[in-house]
Amino acid sequence: MTSERAPRIAVGPERDPRFERAVVGGGGIPCDFEDTPDALVWTAGPDGFPEVLPSSVKWVQLPTAGVEYWLSQGIVRAHPGVTWTSAAGAYAAAVAEHALMLLLAGVRALPAHLAATSWTPEALAPAVGTLRGATVGLVGAGGVGRALIPMLATLGAHTLAVTRSGRPVPGAVETYPVERIDEIWSLADHFVISATATRDVERLVGASELAAMKPTAWVINVARGDLVDTDALVAALQTGAIGGAGLDVTEPQPLPDDHPLWTLPNAVITPHDSNPPPLRIPAYLEHVTENVTRFASGLVPTAVIDPSAGY
């Protein structure tokens, strides 16, 4: 494909007109799957994915940010010579907004306010904190983390980022490589876990990490439940070793009905709905338009899947 000709792009499994408009918006021409498309924009899960792609297809766009299942089923590997992209980054702003909401609600003691049935500022006001001047430890600075940093900055909070490489993350006061992660637990006031979901990172936050935190610290996890030791977290919440936890992901997940996290007053659980279905489609449409624009211009689309890295 050259930049001289508008690319022909099939939308599947069905020719959804919203996605065909997104293709047109990026400078592509919608076509049937059988009609020698240059690329395929997929809008559903892996189950109905075609076993054989037309040889004309050079690029496939998948609708999810995490692609573990597509990789483990061998779907990506079965089509050599094709560039695959995920929707990584497309939903980052929604998840970052959710993380900010959980953090603000925690720091400003919203759970205690919602439980009150009487005007008692003398009881509630001393628990109201602020992000202004606070330091937030951001574990993982992928799309979600990078979207969160400017949100924190306009609230007057400072970010300490932790990444694999430790290369400076724009907007962070300081960036630590993951080998130095232990330094942040006593340094930051609050924590947001937004590490990319890969299998080689586990249990970042356990009993000793929780013990190092300030007693007012809130821990927000929007990444993956097993990055936090749930039993150690429950103990820290029960004893007041930390301020609280806001969890969009848990281990086990789904969290069983009788789990103590449901009734702890300083735990806020959202059932992995930081990026719920009604918000996903508009965000994926934007991502499709952007990537079709890049493809039509001969550029590499964003969020290319690297099977060896697992995302």
Least spacing, CB of residue 78 vs a copy of itself, in Å: 32
Minimum distance, C-beta of residue 96 to a copy of itself, in the bound complex (Å): 9
Which residues make Cβ contacts (< 8 Å) with residue 145, sequence separation at least 6?
96, 138, 161, 169, 192, 194
Please name every residue paired with 228 in a beta bridge, in sequence order, or none if there are none.
205
**Closer Cβ to a copy of itself, 59 or 91, answer by number:** 91
Q: What is the distance in angstroms between the CA of the first residue and the CA of the last residue of the chain?
A: 26
56-59 CB contacts, 8 Å cutoff, 24+ apart: 56/8, 57/82, 58/1, 58/82, 58/83, 59/83, 59/84, 59/85, 59/295, 59/301
CB of 267 to a copy of itself, least distance (A): 10
Smaller CB separation from a copy of itself, 111 or 310: 111
Closer of 1 and 264 to a copy of itself (Cβ)? 264
- Does an H or E element contain 269, and which? strand 267-269
Minimal distance, residue 145 CB to a copy of itself, in Å: 14
Among residues 24 and 264, whose Cβ is nearest to a copy of itself?
264
Which residue, 45 or 150, is less far from a copy of itself as judged by CB?
150
92 vs 188, beta carbon nearer a copy of itself: 92
Distance CA 40, CA 199 (A): 28
The minimum distance between CB 126 and a copy of itself, in angstroms, equals 6
| 24 or 112: CB nearest a copy of itself | 112
166, 146 Cβ separation under 8 angstroms: no
Please, which residue, 6 or 101, has the CB nearer to a copy of itself? 101
Q: Quote the CA–CA distance of 68 and 45 in Å, as a whole number.
A: 12
- Cβ 231 to a copy of itself, closest distance in Å? 18
CB of 122 to a copy of itself, least distance (A): 9
Neighbour tally for 189: CB within 10 Å: 21
Task: Return residues touching a copy of itself (CB under 8 A).
Answer: 93-94, 97-98, 100-101, 104-105, 108, 110-111, 113-114, 116-121, 124-126, 128-133, 150-151, 153-156, 253-257, 262-263, 268-274, 276-279, 282
> For residue 120, which phi and psi values (nearest 5 degrees)?
-130, 65
Angle (deg, nearest 10), helices 92-107 and 143-154: 50
192/151 Cα distance (integer angstroms): 13
